[in-house]
């Protein structure tokens, strides 16, 4: 069964013959940075050439930007592809997932026959991870998967707890995959990232992407930062031989250089996320105080997504997130005009 994780604009356009207002995919609303557009157009002149299978220039650019040895970097066709590649490469026997959490972790683990254990995050606790997870990290675990900030709740793991989790994984021989694909949207990403611990922590793998923060979701580009160079080598050798297109490699290099775009994005989010959260709550919705570029909320109407779709607005129905009951939804934070349009459509549906 195909899972779209939101952003299924194609099915909407096929049905209605027009583009939707899409809040289902948590991507920058500012569109493609001009420097990225120019880089992509330039490399189109070389479309007859195969892409560099090693992503040499792109890995060098990532390494220089983050201060990481390029030999620890593996690039892929989006974060989801790298999740599947890691599972195929490592074939973990037992893994621990947070619920609710991104469903692609479970799909990748099930594909290699992994036994999955879960640690539940509760709405009553605001979906905040506590140190009770430390008791679940035992030597039987091959892999622990976390997300910072978590998807779909938007909640961050407290930095001190994250370090204790990493230490515990080292003690139990457990691989830690920390998905940091949304970390660039945080006000202080360095405080919530395990990047400073990478080279001293062999079990650690960080997952990142520039596609969400720079509006490149259609080009599919993600990368893994590995505490172990040996794992990076094995990951590189797993999967298809040309996982990242020339266009995506050129776009990634240009995006990494565009610090002004990311700064503008953060300035916008500081204003627009609290605005949208307040207005959603004013409609009587239960809003989780997330810290990413999306918000999770609960409504009494379990058919809310379909009703909004009929009005031309797509939101993310969270039914396929294990640990969330019907009636939970996720929306991206977009521009003020778009957010106002969402709120108006919601009001009309909720008022009946």
| Of 235, 260, 224, the residue nearest 58 (C-alpha) | 224
Rounded Cα distance between 317 and 230, Å, is 39
What is the residue whose two structure tokens read 């395990």? 194
Rounded Cα distance between 30 and 215, Å, is 7
Average pLDDT in the chain: 94
Rounded Cα distance between 154 and 147, Å, is 9
Q: Are 121 and 128 in contact (CB under 8 A)?
A: yes
Q: Are 132 and 98 in contact (CB under 8 A)?
A: no
290-349 confidence digits (pLDDT tens)? 999 999 999 999 999 999 999 999 999 998 898 899 999 999 999 999 999 999 999 999
In this predicted structure, the answer to whether residue 275 has a pLDDT above a threshold of 60 is: yes
Domain boundaries, the chain: 9-29+260-351, 34-257
SS3 string, 56-67, reads: HHHHHHHHHHHC
Q: Give Cα separations from 108 to 79, 89, 150, 178 (angstroms).
A: 12, 11, 18, 15
What is the percentage of the chain residues whose pLDDT exceeds 90? 86
CATH fold of 9-29+260-351 reads: 3.90.1150
Q: pLDDT-based confidence at 1, cuts 50/70/90?
A: very low
28-63 confidence digits (pLDDT tens)? 999 889 999 999 999 988 888 899 999 999 999 999
179-232 confidence digits (pLDDT tens)? 999 999 998 999 999 999 999 999 999 999 988 888 888 889 999 999 999 999
pLDDT of residue 46: 86
Q: Is the pTM of this model over 0.85?
A: yes
Rounded Cα distance between 351 and 142, Å, is 49
Contacts of 135 (CB under 8 A, 6+ apart): none
Question: Considering the domain 34-257 in this protein, what is its CATH number?
Answer: 3.40.640.10
Q: Which residues pair with 222 in a beta bridge?
A: 76, 209
Q: Do domains 9-29+260-351 and 34-257 have the same CATH topology?
A: no
Cis peptide before 149 (omega within 30 of 0): yes
Q: Identify the three-state secondary structure at position 177.
A: strand
């Amino acid at each position: 069964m195909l899972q779209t994780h939101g952003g299924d604009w194609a099915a909407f356009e096929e049905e209605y013959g027009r583009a939707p207002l899409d809040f289902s995919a948590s991507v920058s609303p500012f569109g493609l940075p001009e420097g990225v557009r120019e880089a992509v157009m330039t490399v189109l002149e070389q479309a007859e050439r195969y892409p560099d299978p090693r992503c040499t220039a792109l890995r060098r650019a990532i390494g220089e930007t983050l201060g990481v040895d390029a030999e620890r970097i593996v690039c892929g066709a989006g974060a989801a592809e790298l999740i599947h590649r890691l599972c195929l490469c490592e074939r973990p026997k037992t893994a621990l997932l947070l619920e609710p959490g991104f469903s692609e972790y479970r799909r990748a683990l099930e594909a290699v026959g992994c036994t999955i254990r879960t640690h539940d995050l509760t709405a009553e606790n605001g979906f905040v991870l506590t140190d009770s997870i430390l008791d679940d990290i035992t030597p039987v675990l091959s892999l622990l998967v976390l997300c910072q900030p978590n998807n779909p709740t938007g909640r961050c793991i407290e930095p001190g707890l994250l370090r204790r989790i990493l230490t515990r994984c080292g003690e139990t021989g457990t691989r830690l995959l920390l998905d940091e694909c949304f970390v660039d949207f945080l006000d202080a990403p360095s405080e919530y990232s395990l990047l400073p611990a990478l080279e001293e922590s062999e079990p650690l793998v960080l997952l990142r992407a520039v596609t969400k923060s720079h509006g490149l979701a259609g080009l599919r580009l993600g990368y893994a930062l590995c505490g172990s160079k040996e794992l990076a080598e094995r990951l590189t050798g797993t999967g298809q031989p040309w996982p990242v297109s020339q266009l995506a490699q050129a776009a990634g290099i240009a995006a990494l250089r565009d610090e002004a775009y990311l700064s503008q994005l953060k300035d916008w989010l500081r204003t627009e996320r609290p605005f949208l959260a307040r207005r959603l709550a004013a409609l009587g919705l239960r809003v989780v105080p997330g810290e990413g570029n999306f918000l999770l909320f609960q409504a009494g109407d379990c058919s809310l997504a379909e009703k909004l779709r009929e009005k031309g607005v797509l939101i993310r129905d969270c039914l396929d997130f294990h640990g969330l009951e019907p009636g939970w939804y996720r929306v991206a934070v977009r521009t003020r005009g778009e957010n106002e349009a969402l709120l108006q459509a919601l009001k009309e549906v909720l008022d009946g």
